[in-house]
Structure 1
């Protein structure tokens, strides 16, 4: 799994117990999953369709740095299925896992659009291909 994004836990990210608010970390995860999908599918119209069970394993407190890991599980016809993990960068403890996040590639009318992708691509490789 590659960890793509880091977030600094600030006072506004905490719940009443002084730990990282679940809704905040899920918003971070969803945003990063969609950004990842946009880059992979080369389309700004990508939305989250489904998130499987969310398994909270630990938490974080103010001042901690958390990072979000994303791994592609499957390319569908118009979808992309990801496995995600959020962990504490300092302790490497897993904060939560989501086994399946399904994103859907959409056309300009908001309908599923086949993307034609079958493997993970990296921007650096696309730049090389375009220069050749």
Structure 2
């Protein structure tokens, strides 16, 4: 198995929008969008720190475009900033119609996650390299 020489700072996740994910208007539930965004942030922070991480804060999540049933969403999450024990992860959700080659930004937000040691106490995380994520 190949060894990675740098830590992954970005995660991409893709979901189809099925009827069970939508409200009575036929668009993605806002709560489902937030849950998927938090999951993408969790995976990104876990891959960066390689420790147990927990979400401690989310910024305002801006919903810019509805996500209709029958479309595809791609979540793109990346480490924006690291502190001593925390990581700020930006997450964008892009929507694509299944029958067209176009994308629109549906929502965006930021999540702060903290790395924990075996006793559940905050523990240091690797810093971002100068110049941002690799």
Q: How would you bin the TM-score normalised by the shorter chain? A: 0.7 to 0.9
Match of residue 113 from structure 2? 103
Are residue 30 (structure 1) and residue 38 (structure 2) matched?
A: yes
| Alpha-carbon displacement from aligned partner over 1:15-63 (angstroms, at most 9, x marks no partner) | 12111100011111101110111111111x1111111111111111121
Runs of 4+ in 1 over 3 A off after TM superposition: none
- Aligned positions of 1:12-23 closer than 5 A: 12-23=20-31
**Number of aligned residues:** 119
Are residue 6 (structure 1) and residue 14 (structure 2) matched?
A: yes
2: distance between equivalents of 1:117 and 1:6?
28
| RMSD, matched Cα | 1.8
2: distance between equivalents of 1:63 and 1:88?
10
Match of residue 104 from structure 2? 93
Are residue 53 (structure 1) and residue 60 (structure 2) matched?
A: yes
Unaligned stretches of 5+ in structure 1?
122-132
2:47 aligned to which of 29, 39, 42: 39
TM-score with structure 2 setting the length: 0.81
Q: Is the 8 A contact 1:3 1:67 kept in 2?
A: no
| Alpha-carbon displacement from aligned partner over 1:55-113 (angstroms, at most 9, x marks no partner) | 11111112110000112211110011111110113431111111x31110011222111
Unaligned stretches of 5+ in structure 2?
1-8
1:66 aligned to which of 67, 70, 73: 73
Q: Which has the higher helix share?
A: 1
TM-score with structure 1 setting the length: 0.82
